[in-house]
Amino acid sequence: MPLDSAFDLPEDTRALRDVAQDFARDVLAPKALEWDAARHFPVEEMRQAASLGMAALYVREESGGAGLTRLDAAVVFEALATGCPTTSAFLSIHNMVAWMIDRWGTEAQRAEHLPSLVTMERLASYCLTEPGSGSDAAALRTRATRDNEGYVLNGSKQFISGAGTSDLYLTMARTGGEGPDGISALLIPRETPGLSFGANERKMGWNAQPTRTMDFQDARVAADRLLGEEGQGFRMAMAGLDGGRLNIAACSLGGAQRALDIALDYVRERRAFGKPVADFQATQFRLADMATELEAARSLLWRACAKLDGKAPDAGPFCAMAKRFATDTGHRVADEALQLLGGYGYLHDYGVEKLVRDLRVHRILEGTNEIMRVIIARHMLGRR
């Protein structure tokens, strides 16, 4: 468990954390290694999480969601990630799409999509990255051409979590000219003619969720699939990513906390040179640093959550700071835990090597940590 924080969480938030921790321990953790090895997507278990309100954490109550804060959500995702960071991360993506529909959707769109997203009867994916545009997301090339019947899409998306399994794809496509102002958001059903999916990518980690390319070849959707207005898509995408960055930071902390807990149990029991490994000062110093770094990252994350909840003008750079620091810290702590276990840390059955693999990608997705530094520095220098 984390050390006591400089400020206490509200009682309701602590109760949410307890529910999420129980779910992680009882439902996710027992199967996490099996899911990783089999590349199994635990849809039914995520639907169990949805029954506890975890599929629409910050969707408004009047839209069927839990109506919680970003701090509440971060605490929940951290707790879930102690059971399986991969599953927690997909729940974060699904939550982000549900929130964007609630935030920018019409009454008809909310009525059509949110009831089934809240229960996870239908899964949702977020589709921004393309083969030729990752960090430079405003350079995306997928085009949605308007005609009398709606939109015709052509192009490709890459690294899409849940692709091929999810039922709804919130897709950023170019409806206008070059640059961010030419991008719009469309809600694309899986069964859309002209939409196809590539093979499930073989990845270093995150094996418990599928990742595929998406290809649009004259894929036609009705005009009412537009989310918000034409030209708003890039701003919507960036707003979604602010929250997504907090969530993935939380997933990193949860996975790292689990790795630290495994290491603590191991060094208490493992003996070397006639005494427990935990009695060596070098081990104690390493454990102290790991715990301190996690607590520092957690405090920064919670402050960034408060900024976003309060709509502070510097919320964006604070989300970038929290994402950069927490994902770097989380992966480093998990790697240190593996080192403490020695050769056993490298074995699948001990669980730490999976955490190292899963947490590595958090430093890349939702904006690479290099891009997080760009966002922070631009704010510092008064540039946009």
Catalytic entry in 78, 130, 336, 366: 366
Is there a contact between 41 and 210 (Cβ–Cβ < 8 Å)? Answer: yes
Is 366 assigned a catalytic role? yes
**Counting Cβ atoms within 10 Å, is residue 190 exposed (0-12), middle (13-18) or buried (19+)?**
middle
> What are residue 197's DSSP bridge partners?
214
CA gap 155, 76 in Å, rounded: 36
Locus of tokens 């689990």? 258
What residues does 133 pair with on adjacent strands?
130
Q: Tell me the backbone φ, ψ of residue 264, rounded to 5 degrees.
A: -60, -45
Q: Taking the CB of residue 61, how many other CB atoms lie within 10 A of it?
A: 10
270 burial via Cβ count (<10 Å: 0-12, 13-18, 19+): middle
Instruction: Quickly list DSSP for 284-297.
Output: HHHHHHHHHHHHHH
Would you give the distance in Å from CA 334 to the centre of its chain? 18
Amino acid at 275: K
For residue 114, what are the CA distances in angstroms to 69, 117, 170, 255, 261? 18, 5, 13, 29, 37
User: How many CB atoms within 10 Å of residue 311?
Assistant: 7
How many CB atoms neighbour CB 224 within 10 A?
12
What is the distance between the alpha carbons of residues 360 and 331, in angstroms, rounded to a whole number? 6
* Cβ neighbours of residue 379 closer than 8 Å, sequence gap 6 or more: 314, 316, 317
Kindly tell me the number of DSSP H helices and DSSP E strands found in the chain.
11, 10
Question: Active-site residue numbers?
Answer: 366
